[in-house]
Amino acid sequence: MTHHRLFVQDLAAGYGDRNVFAGLDLDVLPAKITAIVGANACGKSTLLRAMSRLLPPRQGQVLLDGKSIHTMPPRKLAQTLGLLPQSPIAPEGITVSDLVGRGRHPHQGVFSRWTRQDDEAVAAALQATNTTDLAERPVDELSGGQRQRIWIAMALAQQTDILLLDEPTTFLDIAHQVEVLDLLVDLNQTRGTTIIMVLHDLNLAARYADHLVAMADGRLHARGTPGDVLTVETVRDVFGLESSIVADPLSGRPLMLPIGRHRIKREEVA
């Protein structure tokens, strides 16, 4: 199976009269999980929005298999590139299966009827997110973690080869954060879905991503494997934070321990 390729070329985007970033290049590794990390307001969400056509580029382009995503028909793009933004809205009273079914939108024409293929995509999405039992429940009644799984199920029902997620773990407790990230790895491993997500938590990003992209002040500061990127220097440059990096005993991936002003045994830091 060949994977679609997403390539960011000399991209500039922003709001009002200000560019959030400019001249940015990024080659997204196909069939891998890429996490974009960085301090607040460093432009990571803006980058994701520009990569998914929510924000028009001021300069440069985003290429999907060599073609600009801004000139291709949006429905065609949506069959290959899925997106889960930060604050989706669940209409009042909508059931889980109904909401997940709306992920089939780009696969349906104005007059086309709901097909067996649509049914199967929805069933598979519910299955993959372990929400089959919730199918007939109203979304309003669900917990935050369940709701996030439903939204991911909707994005899965879209059956795209590439999936962009803007902070999929915000507002979730740690158990649900891990659950959501595990689910994304499942998806990557079983379907080969290319995943690009903005993550707040450096350590979870290092644990779950194959590729880390660290942004600072609208620039790509560092990119590479978590081992290459998550260093004392990067954390200092990107977050302005002193830290110590140890090997996570569970995964072998780097684990960042912040050094604040208090509660630190001095001899450990020196």
Partner 1 sequence: MSDLQPRRLAAIPALRFHRPSRVFWLAIMLAALAVLTVLSVAVGTRDVAWHDVFPALAGHVESIEQAAVAVRIPRTLLAVLAGAALAVSGTVMQGVTRNPLAEPGILGVNMGASLAIAIGVAWFGIASTQAFIWTAIAGAWGTAIFVYAIGSLGRGGATPLKLALAGTATNVAFVSLVLAVLLTRNDVAGGMRSWQVGGVGGATNDRTAAILPFLAAGFVVSLLSARKLNSLALGDDVAAGLGERVARTRVVASFGAILLCGATTAACGPIAFVGLVVPHLCRSLFGSDYRWLVPIGAVAGASLLLVADVVGRVVARPSELDVGIVTAFLGAPFFVWIVRRQRIREL
Query: Could you list the residues that contact partner 1 (CB under 8 A)?
Result: 52-54, 73-79, 82-95, 97-99, 101-103, 105-106, 108, 110, 114, 116, 119-124, 126-128, 132, 135-136, 154-155, 158, 190-191
Shortest separation between residue 31's beta carbon and partner 1, angstroms: 14
Residue with tokens 């005993």: 249
How big is the chain by its Cα radius of gyration, in Å? 19
Considering the complex, state which of residue 133 and residue 267 has its C-beta at the smaller distance from partner 1: 133
* HEC letters along 95-125: EHHHHHHHHHHHHCCCCCCCCHHHHHHHHHH
Considering the complex, state which of residue 164 and residue 230 has its C-beta at the smaller distance from partner 1: 164
Considering the complex, state which of residue 139 and residue 206 has its C-beta at the smaller distance from partner 1: 139
Shortest separation between residue 270's beta carbon and partner 1, angstroms: 48
Considering the complex, state which of residue 95 and residue 231 has its C-beta at the smaller distance from partner 1: 95
Considering the complex, state which of residue 15 and residue 246 has its C-beta at the smaller distance from partner 1: 15
Shortest separation between residue 48's beta carbon and partner 1, angstroms: 10
Shortest separation between residue 57's beta carbon and partner 1, angstroms: 15
Considering the complex, state which of residue 148 and residue 234 has its C-beta at the smaller distance from partner 1: 148
Considering the complex, state which of residue 92 and residue 268 has its C-beta at the smaller distance from partner 1: 92
Q: Is residue 240 a contact partner of residue 42, using CB atoms and an 8 Å limit? A: no
Shortest separation between residue 189's beta carbon and partner 1, angstroms: 12
What is the C-alpha to C-alpha distance for residues 141 and 107, in angstroms, rounded to an integer? Answer: 29
Shortest separation between residue 87's beta carbon and partner 1, angstroms: 7
Considering the complex, state which of residue 39 and residue 124 has its C-beta at the smaller distance from partner 1: 124
Give me the DSSP letters along the chain: -----EEEEEEEEEETTEEEEEEEEEEPPTTSEEEEEESTTSSHHHHHHHHTTSS--SEEEEEETTEETTTS-HHHHHHHEEEE-SS--PPTT-BHHHHHHGGGGGG--SSPPP-HHHHHHHHHHHHHTT-GGGTTSBGGGS-HHHHHHHHHHHHHHT--SEEEEE-TTTT--HHHHHHHHHHHHHHHHHH--EEEEE-S-HHHHHHH-SEEEEEETTEEEEEE-HHHH-SHHHHHHHH---EEEEE-TTTSSEEEEE--SSS--HHHH-
Shortest separation between residue 85's beta carbon and partner 1, angstroms: 4
Shortest separation between residue 148's beta carbon and partner 1, angstroms: 13
